[in-house]
Amino acid sequence: MQKIIKYTLFSAMIATLGLQGCKDSYFDKLSDNPNQVAVPTLNALLATSTYKAGLNNYNVASIILPYVQYTANPAANGAGDTYQAIDFSGTWDALYFAMADANEMKKLAIAQNSSEYKGVADVIIAYNLIMVNDLWGDAPFSEAFNVNNLVPKYDKQQDVYASSMALIDEAIVELAKTNSAVKLAAASDLIYGTTAATERANWLKFAYALKARLLNKVSKTTSYNPTAVLDAVSKSIASNNEDARMQTFRERNFWATVALNNANQSLGGWLSEQLIDALNGTSYPGPIDPRLPKITDLTVDGKYIGTVNGAGNRPPGANTLKNENYISQNSPWSGNTSPIFLVTYAELKFIEAEAAFDIDRTRSYNAYLAAISANMDKFQVEAADKAAYLARPTVSVGAAALTKDLIFKEKYIATYLNPEAWNDARRFDYKYKDFTLPVNNALPTFIRRLDYTQGERSKNGANVPADVPRTTKLWWDQ
């Protein structure tokens, strides 16, 4: 891993001009020879780091979508659908490349006395590190960015979690400062650059959002502190307008490319029966969820029907007739210009609902309703349809009848296409209604972690932990 980082540290360097215009020159820099990058600038490092945050959100989501049954393979026995061993070396490397770039930004920020850039660097390092930790558990970090050490040790998964929290806490301190010697360059910030007047404040809220996520993730452990979770939520993202998102692409949103490829018969992006049935009135009898038409299009038969994980597309079309649903370019989540959502206001309200559940049931219920409403707005659901859904007796149950099952059921829809969905599925022990093991499953039960990559075993094999079953729970999942 370190050898790769050493020689590709700036392989994704982005030009600092024209960042918001999506011009070819902007993205051509992504493949620059690192030997031609003499002195990286804070602006260039900010651009590449914020872009990679969105890209890695997509990379990791692509791995976990079949695990949470948002998507399904059109062929029977698909490796992801059936929990087979898969080598995700490319994603591992991409996550560490992103951290390496952000680490360089942090060092340069310290040298230039820029608390704003330092805080943002901490947030981005933490964001990527958290995803590594969530996928694999133990991972290199304490020795990861010493270019003179090509075989860094693996930190224990609890220590990686602690390092992530320390980065977030440091970011909060830095981003609270208002006297930074070098201010963030909005034109280079692909996450909050369009909110220039509140850019620093929004990054601070993003940091608190990640803190709330981390604190809530340990809900199964004795260290869980719902009061601390609620405190972080109260200081985090406070409206849909403050969502952490990346919306700058060379051609189109990454998921829109999946949808386009499906339309061109490359056959990716089929939606799982589990997701579709959760929305079409099957798992929860009644009218369809108004978000369903905002996620996918009707089939050629005028239906909403998903693909069974592990079984592949149904005959007779067998993935050529479009008689099952797939990711749509018409969706606010996967349209050509749709943003990649890193953290949303709706997710934070669901975190609040969960954390407040045993403390203040009224607050929990109000947060639950606010989360659904915010997610409906994000999906561009018509106001009348949203009001009708919220008025359903199965949704508007009242504070006394609220359950955590309802919170997780609704959050499952809100985290569509987001890596955080797998963390929730594991914390919830996959107890979503009608959620079953995939057909032809390679494991005896649900998947809980990934195998370490072949790339790491070939370059740092002496330090890579021994393989454990993919059903082995991470420390926070036990």
Quick: pLDDT tens for 122-172: 999 999 999 999 999 999 999 999 989 999 999 999 999 999 999 999 999
Residue 282 half-sphere exposure toward CB, CA atoms < 13 A: 16
Question: Cβ neighbours of residue 264 under 8 Å, at least 6 residues apart?
Answer: none
What's the pLDDT score for residue 314?
86
Helices (H), 333-469: 345-356, 361-378, 383-390, 404-414, 420-427, 454-460
CA distance 109 to 115: 7
pTM to 2 decimals? 0.93
Domain count, the chain: 1
* Paired strand residues for 340: 246
Identify which of 194, 330, 249 has the alpha carbon closest to the alpha carbon of residue 54. 249
> Which tokens hold the place of 144?
């990861």
CA distance 429 to 410: 16
| Residue 458 Cα to chain centre, angstroms | 28
Angle 276-278-283 from CA coordinates, rounded to 5°:
120
- Three-class SS string for 217-269? HCCCCCCCCHHHHHHHHHCCCCCHHHCEEECCCCCCCHHHHHHHHHHCCCCCC
Q: In this structure, how many other beta carbons lie within 10 angstroms of the beta carbon of residue 254?
A: 20
CA distance 124 to 102: 7
The one-letter amino acid at 377: D
What's the pLDDT score for residue 316?
72
| Residue 79 Cα to chain centre, angstroms | 21
Count of helices and strands (H, E) across the chain: 17, 2
Is there a domain that residue 295 lies in? no
CATH of residue 132:
1.25.40.390
What's the pLDDT score for residue 37?
52
Q: Provide φ and ψ at 404, rounded to 5°.
A: -65, -30
What's the pLDDT score for residue 10?
36
Asked if residues 408 and 47 have their Cβ atoms less than 8 Å apart, the reply is no
Is there a domain that residue 293 lies in? no
Torsion of CA 442, 269, 422, 201, to 10 degrees: 160
What's the pLDDT score for residue 78?
96
Asked if residues 416 and 330 have their Cβ atoms less than 8 Å apart, the reply is no
Question: Cβ neighbours of residue 313 under 8 Å, at least 6 residues apart?
Answer: 74, 75, 270, 307, 319, 324
Is there a domain that residue 324 lies in? no
Domain extent, residue 357, equals 2-251+339-477
Q: What per-residue string of b and e applies to 397-430 under the rule 16 or more CB within 10 Å gives b?
A: eeeeebeeebbbbbbbbbbbbbbbbbbbbbbbeb
User: Alpha-carbon Rg of the chain, whole angstroms?
Assistant: 22
Integer angstrom CA distances of residue 123 from 30, 47, 58, 191: 22, 14, 18, 12
Spans in the chain with pLDDT lower than 70: 1-38, 266, 317-320
The one-letter amino acid at 76: A
> Which tokens hold the place of 268?
């990716």
- Summarised one tens digit per residue, pLDDT across range 163-204 is 999 999 999 999 999 999 999 999 999 999 999 999 999 999
**Strand-strand pairing, 340-343 and 244-246:** antiparallel
Integer angstrom CA distances of residue 146 from 13, 141, 143, 372: 20, 10, 6, 45
Is there a domain that residue 279 lies in? no
| Dihedral sign computed on CA atoms, order 451, 2, 109, 248 | negative
CA distance 162 to 261: 40
Is there a domain that residue 407 lies in? yes
CA distance 323 to 271: 11
Q: In this structure, how many other beta carbons lie within 10 angstroms of the beta carbon of residue 25?
A: 11
Is there a domain that residue 224 lies in? yes
Asked if residues 95 and 132 have their Cβ atoms less than 8 Å apart, the reply is yes
CA distance 277 to 72: 13
Asked if residues 129 and 136 have their Cβ atoms less than 8 Å apart, the reply is no
Please, what's the largest Cα pairwise distance for the chain? 66
Q: What 3-state class would DSSP assign to 450? A: coil
Is there a domain that residue 277 lies in? no
Is there a domain that residue 315 lies in? no
The one-letter amino acid at 208: Y
Question: Cβ neighbours of residue 238 under 8 Å, at least 6 residues apart?
Answer: 205, 345
